[in-house]
Amino acid sequence: MVKFKIRRGFGKKSSLAEKLSKLIRRRGKKRVEEIIKGIIKREPITILPLKPTYTIIETYYVYEPFAKVNIVSIPEKGGMLGYYVEEFTLTRDEQEILEKLIDILTEELEPAESIEDLKSYVAREVIRLANKYRSVFKLTGSRRAKILYYVERNLLGYGPIDPLMRDPNIEDISCDGAGKPIYVWHKKYESLPTNIIFNTTDHLNDFIMRLAHMAGKHVSIAFPILDAMLPEKHRLAATFGTEVSPRGPTFTIRKFREKPLSPTELIKSGVINELFAAYIWYMVEKRRTFMIAGGTGAGKTTLLNAFSLFIRPGMKIVTVEDTPELNLPHENWVQLSTRVSYALMGQTSG
């Protein structure tokens, strides 16, 4: 309960007290309490709603029926396209149930015998705990399905950006700081702003620390630059705090393609032609040396993955990478990655 106490005396009443008193008379004490609580406890994420003026270009589900994506045209921005996520919303009671359930899960979750199907294991544990505390949670029907979705999303997934990670059409996810929309690179529509915004720098820092822990890495003010690989082999690049990024923390996730593109697919898409593919094949067969160079996101790893198919299956391959990104089908493949150690004077050595 938020208590209001307006001090009188010492002359004129303060302007803040006057405004608060008028607000209480106009909207009622209970409503003002809710407003102040909302200011004190600001939500970490803003999800911008669809407006009636937007034109929906395409709609598809990324996790049916809980999360779907709308590609929209925004007339206020000159017809610019946007990527708008829609998820099942929780009522206030359901949100409280979710928070309590997650608290209990962190205390009572029993260790799994194997991690082959972690999602189904956590779902079983949620149902077990819901039955154990049935008088508190009362999870039935659609409410149970919604709660299970958000438990999976927040504990096992990527929280607010989980729908983006589930979308096979997304190649790149980028956040340039708090108060700005997250951007995605869509295979069909290219660069699009989303309706997901981190409200504060603190919440964004917390989220980056969570991503770092998922990748088994450390990030802090002392070591604010992070380059890591997430569990699904997605590449993560992030900056923490304002030490190296004055405008605030940032992160970029380059999504990993489970099945690399083949030379045939690159030819069909117009990335390379038949003559160039044949030339590279000849170079690989004759064990010639060549270099693939280009800027960030130019497609170096995509080309190297495709060209590796020209290597005969029986050949031994050894790769060394700063961040493991290659995905070769060969059995006789040794994959190595560099390990960075921090020297006394802030320098690094590999």
Counting the structural domains of the chain, the total is: 3
At 289, which CATH number? Answer: 3.40.50.300
Tell whether 62 and 109 lie within a shared domain. yes
Whether 92 is in a domain gets the answer: yes
**Residue 21, both tokens:** 């008193």
Contacts of 36 by beta carbon, 8 Å cutoff, 6+ apart: 2
Contact between residue 143 and residue 134 where contact means Cβ atoms under 8 Å apart:
no
**Residue 264, both tokens:** 């045939």
Length of the chain, in residues: 350
Q: Reduce the DSSP state of residue 117 to 3 states and report it.
A: coil
In order, the DSSP letters of 297-318 are: TSSHHHHHHHHGGGS-TTS-EE
- Over residues 59-77, the pLDDT tens digits come to 999 999 999 999 999 999 9
Mean pLDDT for back-to-back runs of 10 residues, the chain (350 residues)? 42 49 56 46 80 96 96 95 94 85 78 64 77 72 83 89 96 96 96 96 95 92 92 92 94 89 93 95 94 87 93 92 86 87 52
Question: Cα(57)–Cα(256) distance, rounded to whole angstroms?
Answer: 27
At 109, which CATH number? Answer: 3.30.450.380
In order, the DSSP letters of 245-286 are: -TT--EEEEEPPPSSPPPHHHHHHTTSS-HHHHHHHHHHHHT
Whether 300 is in a domain gets the answer: yes
Question: Cα(145)–Cα(151) distance, rounded to whole angstroms?
Answer: 10
Whether 87 is in a domain gets the answer: yes
Tell whether 74 and 27 lie within a shared domain. no
Q: Reduce the DSSP state of residue 203 to 3 states and report it.
A: helix
Whether 77 is in a domain gets the answer: yes
- Per-residue confidence (pLDDT) for residue 337, from 0 to 100: 84
Tell whether 52 and 163 lie within a shared domain. yes
Tell whether 19 and 112 lie within a shared domain. no
Would strands 317-321 and 45-47 be described as parallel, antiparallel, or unpaired? unpaired
- Per-residue confidence (pLDDT) for residue 207, from 0 to 100: 96
Would strands 317-321 and 333-337 be described as parallel, antiparallel, or unpaired? parallel
- Per-residue confidence (pLDDT) for residue 137, from 0 to 100: 72
Whether 150 is in a domain gets the answer: yes
- Per-residue confidence (pLDDT) for residue 145, from 0 to 100: 85
Q: CA 263 → CA 57, 290, 333, distances in Å?
A: 32, 17, 20
Tell whether 274 and 332 lie within a shared domain. yes
**Residue 46, both tokens:** 């803003």
Tell whether 52 and 155 lie within a shared domain. yes
Whether 343 is in a domain gets the answer: no
Domain containing residue 315: 263-337
